[in-house]
Structure 1
Amino acid sequence: MARPSKAGALGRPAGRRGVLLPLVLAVTASASLAACGSSGSSSASSSGGTSATKITFGDLSPTTTLTPFYAAVYEGFFKKAGLNVSVEKFTGGGSSSVAALATGAVDIASGGPTNFISDIAKKAVTGKIFAEVAGAQYDVLATKGITSVSQLKGKTIGVSGGNSADEIYLMAVLAKYGIKPGDVTFVTSGTLAQRFGAISSGTIKATAELDTQRTVEQQVGTVVLKAEDSPVQVPNVTFWGSDKFRTSHADALKRMISVLVSSATWVSQPANKAAALADCEKGSGATAASCEQTIAVNTNPAQAGKWTWSSTWAVDTAGIAKAIDATAQVIPEAKGLTPAAVVDTSITGTQP
């Protein structure tokens, strides 16, 4: 599977906020899976001629956190469960994904909940969050020499894209320290790995990185706010589904989640380490070292928390409420939203 094109070290700033021209690369999840067709249609499976439910998955921000998903694709776990999953990868944050979600080009998608909340609040999409992949995992990483969040005023901060989940998170965190969006310059700086490079070179002064990469973070900069100490505790990665697909294919989605729960267990087993790392590298575009750190942290509940790769992939509605509050600081339309307006609990429930 082709990897998404990598953005340059920095995007083109527009005013005080960087904007990256949306780039969408449609890629087939696996050579053994049929090309994606219309949403919710079925086709003959290669095993026994039975009908396989087609699911077009939007990978809005390729990340090592999705390792169980990538393993399910490349190891054939979805196919064995009668699911024909194809993948479209996106770069550029929220701006590059909203069109795909709004037009039905994807049935379900992965991304930060604040992204989806923003789109729902602005009535840009009709759909809801139905599963949670990972709980609060954002560290705030700064260049060496900066030792606190309060020192970021007036600095250039790197994000994956305009109105992206990491940008909204950073705005919410900065607000807790009395720093307004206009007090900093946000620029689009690509993937997590690319932002590491920009921090190391000093091109940007801060960014949000996953705590699963803390070993690398401490090599290239200073973690000025750890995820577990953040005043903004919001889920990191969730699954969104269109209203049409969720209501007509609830059983298929439940089957998909069951596969992902089993896949996470498979990933955690030492005998599968080499294959799991290869799946992670191929799907996320990250290094083997980054993938290994993610797997080590996310398979340890004491470190990752109960909402990351849980036994149900249930949605933390209290965390979603906090995500709504964080989004409302940036997107006025989100004020007054409730978790019920943005979450469908019928697929995975609310208990991890």
Structure 2
Amino acid sequence: MITSSRREIRSIKRIRSRRCAAGASLALFAVGLAACGSSKSSSSISSTTSIASSTSPSVQHVSFALTFPSLEYLPVYVARDEGFFKKRNISITLDTFSGGGSTVASAFASNSVQMGLGGVDLAASNAKKITDVKVVQQLSQSSFQIYVQKDISSVSQLVGKKITVSSLSGVFYIWWQEVLAAYHIDPSKVVFVSNGSEAGMSAAFLSGVVNAIGDVPPVPASFPPPLVPSDKLPQLPLAVTVANQSFITAHKATVAGVISAINEGTAWIKTHQSLAVSMCESDLDFPSARCQLAPVLHPTSPYTWSSNGAIDVSSLSQALSAEASVYPQLKGYPVDNFIDSSFVGTSPS
């Protein structure tokens, strides 16, 4: 199926190339006709061209930040590859940052990016007055599950054990704060180990370096069954689209266009699943096992890949409360200071 999809993609590219060549030939033919006609006709053509150029909508460029590759981000890549941004007169650059939310926050603060996908940790940079970004769309709600080594049979046995996270301030770490609080475990009683990317976290768990991992399906086939499934655990917005407030104020239509293009990318995936898997492999550089779309096409939360990208305000508020244990500045921080739901609303469809 994937091989067939790649052939289809190559076929589409060949067709587009032929269309471009044909268009170029027609353009040259038109120029030849203009040259052979009267000076009045030539002037008329020039005038028409000038009017068309002056009335065509200008292209707005957007630098869009991404952190570690994630399946939930796929609609953004689809929107780029399928031209959904372009048809809205948006030129987009996808800038990938390593190092977690702090590097993305710095990029927003310097205005080197205007929009991006991030997590709730960006609220901390708002509270610290480093950034002024707003959540304008939600791509997914987490469906974290707990996986443990075979000598652990309950969450209470995690006391004194090592838990892998991407960083000591990122979304995995924040989620564990919620989980441990729900199970009445003091976070200081476990050892968090920062392993960077999701791949690094998985490797640490599979090698036995750590005792537990919180992860979102699909997970490696060598993972054990989850100790606790997602519907028994607190969850939080996993991927949200954010934008600089200054950019929202100056270019609200462009922000709306980016959101609309991403939503169109989501809709495209649902009707082109085999092609979407191929894009996942090429754009995210994931093996086919990690490009299975079932968890995001049939999620436990209606906020994951909804058609309108609605924001789960309640879950976001709970996540900010959990994050306050990491960033004291967030204690009492109003969730309304971190969202702009005017674009997508709060009810998923």
TM over 0.5: yes
Matches within 5 A, 1:280-291: 280-291=280-291
CA distance in structure 2 between the partners assigned to 1:156 and 1:350 by the alignment: 37
The corresponding residue for 1:244 is 246
Residue 323 of structure 2 aligns to a residue whose secondary structure is helix
Q: CA deviation at 1:85?
A: 0.8
Q: Residue 137 of structure 2 aligns with which residue?
A: 131
The size of the alignment, in residue pairs, is 294
Distance 1:237 1:189 in 2: 20
Q: Which residue of 2 aligns with 1:56?
A: 63
Work out whether residues 267 and 276 of structure 1, in 8 Å CA contact, stay in contact via their aligned partners in 2. yes
Q: Give the Cα–Cα distance (whole angstroms) in 2 for the partners of residues 310 and 74 of structure 1.
A: 20
Whole-Å Cα distance in 1 between the matches of residues 249 and 148 of structure 2? Answer: 43
Among candidates 294, 307, 311, match of residue 303 of structure 2:
307
Asked whether the equivalents of residues 174 and 319 of structure 2 are also in contact (C-alpha less than 8 Å), the reply is no
Higher Cα Rg, which structure: 2
* Structure number with higher helix proportion: 2
- Check conservation: 2:144, 2:230, Cα contact below 8 A: yes
Equivalent residue, structure 2, for 1:223: 226
What do the CA deviations read for 1:131-152 (whole angstroms, capped 9, x no partner)? 1011132222222332222211
**Alpha-carbon distance change, 283 to 148 in structure 1, aligned in 2, over 3 angstroms:** farther
Is 1:79 the counterpart of 2:54? The answer is no
What code does the residue aligned with 1:281 have? E
Structure 2 distance, partners of 1:308, 1:164, is 20
In the alignment, the residues of structure 2 paired with residue 97 and residue 256 of structure 1 have an alpha-carbon distance, to the nearest angstrom, of: 18
Aligned partners of 1:286, 1:143: CA distance in 2, in Å? 25
Number of the residue aligned with 1:201: 207
CA shift, 1:50, in A, is 4.7
Q: Is the 8 A contact 2:266 2:307 kept in 1?
A: no
Aligned counterparts of 2:231 and 2:339: Cα–Cα separation in 1: 24
Partner of 1:68: 75
TM-score (norm. length: structure 2): 0.79
For the residues of structure 2 that align with 1:243 and 1:162, how far apart are their CA atoms?
Answer: 27
Gaps of 5+ in 2: 1-54
Alignment partners' CA distance in 2, 1:317 and 1:72: 25
Q: How does 1:1-352 map to 2 (within 5 A)?
A: 50-113=57-120, 115-210=121-216, 212-214=217-219, 216=220, 219-230=222-233, 232-269=234-271, 272-292=272-292, 295-300=293-298, 303-352=299-348
SS at 1:131 equivalent? strand
Structure 1 spans left out of the alignment, 5+ residues: 1-47
Q: Quick one: distance in 2 between partners of 1:224 and 1:111?
A: 28
Matched-pair identity in %:
29
The 1:228–1:143 alpha-carbon spacing in structure 2 relative to 1, beyond 3 Å, is: same
- The alignment's C-alpha RMSD in Å is 2.0
Structure with the higher strand share, 1 or 2: 1
In 1, Cα distance between the equivalents of 2:126 and 2:230? 26
The DSSP-based 3-state class of the residue aligned with 2:218 is helix
Question: Which amino acid counterpart does residue 307 of structure 1 have in structure 2?
Answer: Y
